[in-house]
Amino acid sequence: MRFQTPLVPAVLIRRYKRFLADCRLEDGREVTAHCANPGSMLGLAEPGTRIWLEPNDDARKKLKFGWRLVEHGQGHFTGVDTGMPNRMLRVALEAGEVPGLEGYDTARPEVKYGAQGSRIDFLLTGQGRRDAYVEVKSVTLSRRPGLAEFPDSVTRRGTKHLEELATMGQAGARAVMLYLVQRTDCDRFALAADIDPAYARAHACATEAGVETLCYATQISPQEITLGPPLPHGD
């Protein structure tokens, strides 16, 4: 998926209030960008980091830049917009281009399900196939070379999602936990059990209940983000 407008490089001055980031453009101007990432962004928000912003001329938006990428050098990037994975995956799912999730007729986003009225990221349906409930998580943490990890902070919401997927799996539906690694410097994935032991336990219980785990890389540049190959994963 291509960015709507060409990205421009900048240097991060500071990130604050979760959704705001002060940045310095190459021409010396200081601007405030929207940060579409409510997480901790562990290891990604250090002052002085080279980042990439997406300008916009939408009169309805107060902030005229959105923070999209962190640059790590040697051609590697991390995508920090947590909304990008679902937008990209919707296109790939509808085109049948996600390995392991091909062959469905429809991919409906944000469908209510379960006793608590939650919304699943994607409900896949197809003639003669079990409905597939697919929850998507954006992975941006890396504390060891080549290893991507999730989560980057305690996530009670993520634990709840695993519990609800487990319920669907026990009821006979296909339930899938899909981790999308938005880093180009990682070639494997694992859970960060030391950061959130409860999430790791919920994942183990969900696996026992029949929930599948899929993990994919992404290919990232200042022009676009596209789906990459499957990655090996473990607890």
Instruction: Map out the domains of the chain as residue ranges.
Output: 8-79, 84-234
Q: How far is CA 213 from CA 4, 94, 135, 231, in A?
A: 31, 20, 10, 11
Q: Can you tell me the distance from the alpha carbon of 91 to that of 143, in angstroms, rounded to the nearest whole number?
A: 31
Q: How confident is the model at residue 117 (pLDDT cuts 50, 70, 90)?
A: confident
**Higher pLDDT among residues 14 and 96, named by residue:** 14
Question: CATH classification of 84-234 is 3.40.50.1110, yes or no?
Answer: no
Q: Average of pLDDT values for 116-138?
A: 92
The conformational region for residue 173 under phi > 0 = left, psi -120 to 50 = alpha, else beta, is beta
| Alpha helices per DSSP H over 136-180 | 156-170
Percent of the chain past pLDDT 70, that is, above it, reads 99
pLDDT at 234 over 80: no
E strands within the chain? Answer: 8-16, 20-25, 30-35, 50-55, 65-73, 76-79, 106-113, 118-125, 132-139, 141-144, 146-150, 174-181, 186-191, 212-220, 225-230, 233-234
Q: Domain 8-79 maps to which CATH number in 3.40.50.20, 2.40.50.580, 2.40.50.140, 3.30.110.30?
A: 2.40.50.580
State pLDDT tens for residues 139-149. 999 999 999 99
State what percent of residues in the chain have pLDDT above 90. 88
pLDDT at position 235: 59
Q: Which of 1-5, 25-29, 122-126 has the lowest mean pLDDT?
A: 1-5
Q: What is the model's pTM?
A: 0.94
Q: What is the pLDDT of residue 59?
A: 79
Burial 17-46 (b: 16+ CB within 10 A, else e): eeeebebeeeeeeebebbbebebbbbebbe
The model's pLDDT over 28-77, given as tens digits with 9 standing for 90+, comes to 999 999 999 988 999 999 999 999 999 998 878 899 999 999 999 899 99
pLDDT above 80 (res 115): no
Phi, psi angles (nearest 5°) of residue 122: -145, 135
- The whole-number pLDDT of residue 57 equals 85
Q: What is the pLDDT of residues 170-218, one digit of tens each?
A: 999 999 999 999 999 999 999 999 999 999 999 999 999 999 999 999 9
